[in-house]
Amino acid sequence: MCFEFDAVPPDLPTDIPRVAGGAAAELLELESPDGTRFSAAFAGTGEVRGPGVVIYPDVRGLYPFYMQLAERFAEAGHHAVVIDFFGRTAGLGPRDDDFEYVEHVPKTRSAQIQEDTMAALDEVSRRVGETRFVSVGFCFGGGESFLATTNENLGLLGAVGFYAGLVRARWGLEGPMDRAADMRGPLLGLFGGADQGIPQEQIDEFSGKLADAGVDHEFHVYPGAPHSFFDRSQEDYADASEDAWRRVLTFLKTVPGT
């Protein structure tokens, strides 16, 4: 598990102009092409400054941290939608602190998550006309963010992964390490140097596979930062969080196709 249930996303850097009058994230119930009903949340911006963002949460799925994160992106000028992974096995969300993700994560399939993503992107396009999207994911969702670039139908301009799980043997699932050659960049990876679950050797191996496949990517490792450092309560890593925000917002501003 990444964040505590009461975790709060870091604020945007103070010098980033906010979009005034942003609305609170709206809880949605959407339908995937296979008929699955799943939960999502949308936060719209009144002043578009770049592509929309689809947020992939960690193993807990849709819970308050990510709904608030969607609002942060909207404040920065990006329509944002966050999806829940577990409509097929756990029904509708949002998820609470008692959600037993351990029994549900192994039942997920990236192809199905990508179908849900398409439904979410279609809903955002219907509502606000946005057709350009970048994925941003965390932990398990960071891996899904990278994996989503293998799906041409989604048409993502790029993908960001915060401490993305690169190997998923513990879940019995295919991971980013297995599909590196099929990904399309640019990719931005943000990792904690003290994250024991994602050692530097693993990051280097993944980077090497992407390089061999000609996939444009940039990875940054924050020395001493743990897994899930991107949390306002992690005061010791406030500088890392601010730098990560800047890198993500710059990525959104400069990604080809914007």
Ranges of each domain in the chain: 26-254
Chain segment 152-186, per-residue pLDDT in tens: 999 999 999 999 999 999 999 999 999 999 999 99
26-254 CATH choice from 1.10.150.120, 3.30.300.30, 3.40.50.720, 3.40.50.1820? 3.40.50.1820
Helix axes 140-148, 110-128, angle to 10 degrees: 70
Backbone angles phi, psi at 217, to 5 degrees: -155, 155
pLDDT for 1 equals: 54
Chain segment 11-50, per-residue pLDDT in tens: 999 999 999 766 689 999 999 999 999 999 999 999 999 9
pLDDT of 236 over the 90 cut:
no
Q: Quote helix, strand, coil % in the chain, to nearest 5.
A: 40, 15, 45
* Termini Cα distance of the chain: 33
Half-sphere exposure of 68 (CA within 13 A, CB side): 13
Which sign does the torsion angle of CA 123, 124, 130, 133 carry? negative
